[in-house]
Structure formats: structure tokens, C-alpha cells
Amino acid sequence: MNLNKEISPSLYQWMVRPNWITKKYIHDRLRMRFRFDHHTVLDFGSGTGANCTLFPPERYKGIDPDEKRVSYSRKRYKNHRFYNLHNHTLPFQDDSMDYILIIAVLHHIPSHDIVEYIQEFKRILKPNGSIIVMEPCFHAKNPLSNFFMNQFDKGKYIREEESYLQFFHDQGLECQVIERFRKCFLYNELFFCANFIP
């Protein structure tokens, strides 16, 4: 069932990504592990813009391929900047981002495209910057969750933990798993960061 594609951005925000879920499972975890003060952030796959509230408008940029969601984000969060993603090239300068945030995005993207995006992430990321990732993840010990995610999630490319990490390792980045957790009982989530190898 491809529910997410059939509903408007505002309905998606209300049904799939309500504020309490975003706060509990995403924002609280990010705040506990990272200091975003005075740092530039790209929210890759920003969707309806829910993550922008973590950051001052002048330090945040969101980008998404869905024009309706970009339009919705611009109306809802007037002081933050949102961009349409048209191809694999990100419209930002080299070494311009301290953090690249990727929240529940990679499981919508085929493998060959992820490789191209990671090359762009490396181009725009500052030398001491971090790529922060949270993704639904298949786990051998949780067949019920795997079945649920496979049947009901819009993303066609949910992967096992090692597959997510390998994309970044193969592009010369070092990964650190921060946490494995359950979201709303039925989702296995992987939270990790990727950095340049010193």
C-alpha cells in the first residue's frame, strides 16, 4: 500500500509525521548527540520541513525532489530556505556544510543514485563535518517488523544495517553507529554518522 504518495503534504504531516513522533524519535535523539549551534545544516530530503525547527533559519537549507512538499514547507516555515532537487547535483558550494541530515530518505533511493549523492555530500561537506543518518532497517531477529515495513512503508529500498554503512565506507567515509532503536513498536531504526577519515 503506497499511502504516502496518495496524500497531500499537510495530511502527511498530520498522519505520518505528527509533531510528537518527530520530537520523540528524531529531534530528541539529534539534540542529545549533536551540537548544532553556529553550524550550517543541509536537510537532504527535507519533505514537509519538520526538521527545520531545530535550526536557526540562516543556518538551515532543506532540499527535496517533491515540489508540493517544498511549496508546503516554504509556506509553513517562511523564514527557512527550501530548494527543489532536480538532479544529482546539489546547488551548494564546496565545503559549505557542517552537517548533512538524512532522515528516512535513503530507503526511497536506488543504490546507484545513492553513490552519486554521496559524492555530492563529500563535495559540500566541510572537512570536519558529519553526515547524520536515520533509516528504517531490516533486522534478522525482527521478522514481524521486517514484514510490516516491507508491506506498508512507501520506500522500496529498505536495507539491512551493513548495506547502509557500506555505501559510505565504499566512498571513503568512516561510519559510527550511534543507536539502534524501535520506532512505534513496528519499525527498526538505524542511527549513524559518517565522517571523513582523518
What confidence tens digit (pLDDT) does each residue in 27-47 have? 999 999 999 999 999 999 999
Which is more confident, 12 or 119? 119
Mean pLDDT across the chain: 92
Establish how many alpha carbons lie within 13 A of residue 57's alpha carbon, considering only the half-sphere containing its beta carbon: 9
Q: Which residues contact 9 (CB under 8 A, 6 or more apart)?
A: 47, 48, 66, 68, 69, 71, 72, 73
Task: List, in order of start, the domains of the chain with CATH numbers.
Answer: 40-48+60-196 (3.40.50.150)
Any bridge partners for residue 62, and if so which? Answer: 43, 82
What's the pTM value of the predicted model, to 2 decimals?
0.90
Instruction: Please say if the pLDDT value at position 66 is more than 70.
Output: yes
Note the pLDDT of residue 5. 47
Give helix 161-170 / helix 111-124 axis angle, nearest 10°: 50
